[in-house]
Structure 1
Amino acid sequence: MTGNDTRRGIMLMSLTMLIFASQDGISRYLADQYNVILVVMIRYWFFAAFVLTISARRAGSIRQAAATEQPVLQIFRGLLLAAEVCVMVLAFTLLGLIESMAIFAAYPLIVAALSGPLLGETVGRFRWLAIGVGLIGVLIILKPGFGVFSPYALIAVLSAAMFALYSLLTRYAARRDSAATSFFWTGIAGAVGMTVTGIWFWEPMTPTDYLWMLALCITGALGHYLLIKTYETAEASAVQPFAYLQLVFVSIIGMTVFGETLAVNVMIGAALVIAAGIFTALRERRLARA
């Protein structure tokens, strides 16, 4: 049941985004040392255990959590998210945390743009205006045609598009399956898919890096747990704008830990993307209440 404590929900969302930003930083470090698929595979093992625990508690049993009338859709969703995580971590290593997350922040706008043709939802002119502004922000970040465009940026764009599709499929699946069922298949299908793929890339880690891998798994599970608690505490539309704090925290980690720089074009473009995303979230909240 969703609560109505908006202030506590905002605090929880802010803490959640700090934990997810830490997870991104650890992911980048480990992916610099080892194969991306290996890192994501181990992360998914821990995530699957967490998913089994949460889904069984919410649905009553694992069998009830797994019950679905649309198994192909649910399995595809899980595999898609696992692939998206791999693509995003790869972007961290090739493009850096800051630019990757600045581009990825546009995914809610992609969801808004595609919710009409794919889900039959109404997209008004104000949402299209916000989508256009966000697109301009992404183009400012990418800087196409200025001689310094990095093709690695397209990997971050692909990641945002993949996560937007995953979000849309999750909305579609929710029409017939519970949140516990979708959560179950997200973790289990992803873990199975990553194991089948990642086991071929196995390599031993140093003792220190095993500790970092444990930290990555813990931050992943803790972040998802706090996100669930956030949505139980306050309305999603009220706390969603604060999800953009992840970009702020990631930027701090990128600059202080990895020596990245916050370019002016990234700052301006990210500001436009965030403003458009917040406007879209607030607009949806107002329409829902109306």
Structure 2
Amino acid sequence: MALSMMSFIGMSVGSREMAATMSIRQVLFFRALVGFVVILLVARSLLPEIRQMQKVPLHVARNVVHFTAQYFWTIGVVLLPLASVFALEFTMPIWVTLFAWLILRERISRPRLLATAGGFLGVLVIVRPGIGMVDPAAGLVLLAAAGYGLSLIMVKNLTRHCSPGAIVVWMMLIQLPLGFLASLTDWQPVHFSAVPWMLLAGIGALSAHFCQAQALKRLEASVVIPIDFLRVPMAAVVGYYAYGEAIDLWVFLGGAIILLSNFQAVLAERRDSRAKLHGPAARQDRVAGAGTWLRRASQSTKPP
């Protein structure tokens, strides 16, 4: 998780530095280009699965949504303090819950409903409507979080048919030409001095998601979510020393409300799952299953 947080912040710093000399559409293109080169070097074993061309329309739809979300997120990285971007991005679980209800017809539990309300309250604390002009870039980051949430729902569907590695390869194959075509509409001269920032942004993007996935394999979500929130103070420190950004306590307060709302929902759902696993109904099912096995064993005519 430490590597994941460092990678996310590295990606945002690399993207901001690239945007100083090129358009945001070029930033997305070169970030995808670096990721594509890395994938070619390490993912040759996935080529047979890619050739099967499973769920290509869903891959395309997912990556159009994800690419658009990245565009909005990068605008936020350029225009807003880094800590504000990461705090607003933590609203993504709210959007995942909403889209899971709308698209997958999943039931919204009471803890998730309370987490959604808490997340909305946290957003109000961060943007503080009525206290001056609300920055439009904050709205774009919220749209980006919604796009990431919808993208995750599509990924959940894709994982029924494709391996995670293949999903990442398709992401690079689709988003690279999307980024290239978008960059042609606002192409700026590219200087050699931007190459290190391209590498930082592109490798950081792949490393962030890979390390986060590895952490989720080894830790429960209730552990990962609080650790991941440390991105906000880390980003505030980087923004303060690298860009002279003021540290806004309202961002920390709003982000903490969003974090705690989601954290409580995860804990409540874990308690419910344990209760179902060890409750009276589960014990009755296990006893019934054992009884069925014993009856079948006693009726067997095979010698021991």
TM-score norm. by structure 1 comes to 0.85
Q: Does 1:37 align with 2:25?
A: yes
- Secondary structure class of the residue paired with 1:158: helix
Q: Does 1:26 align with 2:14?
A: yes
Partners of 1:73 and 1:149 in 2: CA distance: 35
CA contact (8 A) 2:75 2:137 kept: no
Following superposition of structure 1 onto structure 2, how do residues 28-177 of structure 1 map, counting pairs within 5 Å?
A: 28-57=16-45, 61-177=46-162
Which 4+ residue blocks in structure 1 deviate beyond 6 angstroms? Answer: none
Partners of 2:255 and 2:131 in 1: CA distance: 18
Q: Which moved more, 1:268-277 or 1:235-244?
A: 235-244
Letter in 2 for 1:253: V
CA contact (8 A) 1:116 1:123 kept: yes
2:255 aligned to which of 244, 262, 270: 270
Identify the residue that residue 210 of structure 1 maps to in structure 2.
Answer: 195
- Secondary structure class of the residue paired with 2:131: coil
Partners of 2:206 and 2:116 in 1: CA distance: 32
Partners of 2:56 and 2:268 in 1: CA distance: 33
Q: Which moved more, 1:231-240 or 1:207-216?
A: 231-240
TM-score norm. by structure 2 comes to 0.81
CA contact (8 A) 1:66 1:184 kept: no
RMSD: 2.3
Count of matched residue positions in the alignment of Structure 1 and Structure 2: 275
**Cα deviations across residues 101-130 of structure 1 (Å, max 9, x unaligned)?**
211111112212331222122221121011
Partners of 1:42 and 1:203 in 2: CA distance: 12
The alignment-based identity, stated in percent, is 24
Q: Which has the larger radius of gyration?
A: 2
Partners of 2:214 and 2:50 in 1: CA distance: 19
CA contact (8 A) 1:24 1:250 kept: no
Identify the residue that residue 261 of structure 1 maps to in structure 2.
Answer: 246
Partners of 1:144 and 1:88 in 2: CA distance: 20
Q: Which moved more, 1:266-275 or 1:78-87?
A: 78-87
Q: 1:214 to 1:55 in 2, by over 3 A?
A: closer
Q: 1:95 to 1:71 in 2, by over 3 A?
A: same
The Cα of 1:52 is off from its aligned counterpart by 4.2
Q: 1:241 to 1:186 in 2, by over 3 A?
A: farther
